[in-house]
Amino acid sequence: MTLAALFSCGHVLLEGPPGVAKTLLVRSIAAAMNLDHRRIQMTPDLLPNDVTGSSIYREDTRTFEFRRGPIFTNFLLADEINRASARTQSALLEAMQELQVTYDGVTHELPEPFVTFATQNPIEQEGTYPLPLAQLDRFMFKVMVEYPPAEDEVRVLSEHHATSGLSSPEKMLVEQVMSPDDIIAARQLIRETFVREEVVDYVQRLLQATRDDDALEVGGSPRSGLMLLMGAKSLARFQSRDYVTPDDIKEAFLPALRHRVVLSPTVELEGVSTDEVLAQILEIVEVPR
């Protein structure tokens, strides 16, 4: 799903407990791309200007000069994004949606391609701030990173115990395999993927079902439908197809919608998860043939 978003002009939010290699995953993807990449460690004392940049006074010219922040890169890792304040989180909104930063009334374009990968710990943990819905809506996919299966965990423990968990893409010899031009070309190819009218109608009925379901207080928006279709087009290309099938929609549905819908208070108190409600909607809505 992370690569599907990368090749679809989308941003990704990864959520999971500490220690499950969320950051290592993103760093490895960045290392495999011949892109300028930067990492911002989101902390409670981080200020918006620490992300976007600020103006400094030049004594020689007696003028203010805009000093660009770390957001001016191709591949941005916002690590533990929900540990930063809402004010700092909002500094990412314009960049993620409009690919630009406005400071003192002047607009500064971001380099192309630009993508944000953010990691966060579950909001129940101490020291975290929930991301506002407007911020969450900027992410194409929310990917849940769970604890690994027993056999995979045994392999990790066996192969990496000597490193004390300090593995890095450089030590693992991750090679650069794609350039910015390759990514831009892949995005154009994905845009051209064919989507028949029945599949578009299927997506609309899924969105409408989220709005009509009493278990959800906020349903899917038209933007969520666009993100769902773009993600499905990437998945189709990964399968060497130039057209989208309902199965592609099903595969992308939970990652594209789980962070955009809101459970009703009653259902949330009952311990029902968003994924469970969305999975039930997938079962109810008729699939086109």
Per mean pLDDT, which range of 111-115, 175-179, 254-258 is the poorest?
A: 175-179
- Is the pLDDT at 125 greater than 60? The verdict is no
Place of tokens 């957001």: 71
**Structure token pair of residue 261:** 């819908």
| Average pLDDT along the chain | 88
Q: How confident is the model over 78-86, as a mean pLDDT?
A: 87
Percent of the chain with pLDDT over 90: 49
More reliable by pLDDT, 129 or 73: 73
pLDDT tens for 146-162 read 898 999 889 888 877 76
Q: Which residues contact 131 (CB under 8 A, 6 or more apart)?
A: 13, 81, 82, 89, 120
Give me the pLDDT at residue 199, please.
97
**Phi, psi of 274, deg, nearest 5:** -60, -40
Give me the pLDDT at residue 167, please.
65
More reliable by pLDDT, 134 or 235: 235
- Is the pLDDT at 8 greater than 80? The verdict is yes
In this prediction, residue 252 has a pLDDT band, given cuts at 50, 70 and 90, of: very high
Which residue type occupies 94? E
Give me the pLDDT at residue 164, please.
58
Give me the pLDDT at residue 255, please.
95
* Secondary structure, 3-state, the chain: CHHHHHCCCCEEEEECCCCCCHHHHHHHHHHHECCCEEEEECCCCCCHHHHHEEEEEECCCCEEEEEECCCCCCEEEEECHHHCCHHHHHHHHHHHHHCEEEECCEEEECCCCCEEEEEECCCCCCCCCCCCHHHHCCEEEEEECCCCCHHHHHHHHHHHHHHCCCCCCCCCCCCCCECHHHHHHHHHHHHCCECCHHHHHHHHHHHHHHHHCCCEEECCCHHHHHHHHHHHHHHHHHCCCCECCHHHHHHHHHHHHCCCCEECHHHHHCCCCHHHHHHHHHHHCCCCC
In this prediction, residue 60 has a pLDDT band, given cuts at 50, 70 and 90, of: confident
Give me the pLDDT at residue 91, please.
85
pTM of the full predicted structure? 0.87
Q: How far apart (Å, rounded) are the C-alpha atoms in residues 171 and 179?
A: 21
- Is the pLDDT at 172 greater than 90? The verdict is no
Contact 256, 228 (CB under 8 A): yes
pLDDT tens for 178-234 read 888 888 899 999 999 999 999 999 999 999 999 999 999 999 999 999 999 999 999
Which residue type occupies 71? I
Give me the pLDDT at residue 105, please.
84
- Is the pLDDT at 124 greater than 60? The verdict is no
Q: How far apart (Å, rounded) are the C-alpha atoms in residues 26 and 20?
A: 12
Radius of gyration of the chain (CA): 20
Contact 216, 230 (CB under 8 A): no
Q: How confident is the model over 1-9, as a mean pLDDT?
A: 86
- Is the pLDDT at 166 greater than 60? The verdict is no
- Is the pLDDT at 62 greater than 70? The verdict is yes
Contact 32, 179 (CB under 8 A): no
Contact 231, 247 (CB under 8 A): no
Could you give the domains of the chain? 1-189 (3.40.50.300), 192-289 (1.10.8.80)
In this prediction, residue 259 has a pLDDT band, given cuts at 50, 70 and 90, of: very high
Percent of the chain with pLDDT over 70: 94
User: Residue 178, class by beta-carbon neighbours within 10 Å (0-12 exposed, 13-18 middle, 19+ buried)?
Assistant: middle
As beta bridge partners, residue 68 has 53
Q: How far apart (Å, rounded) are the C-alpha atoms in residues 52 and 70?
A: 7
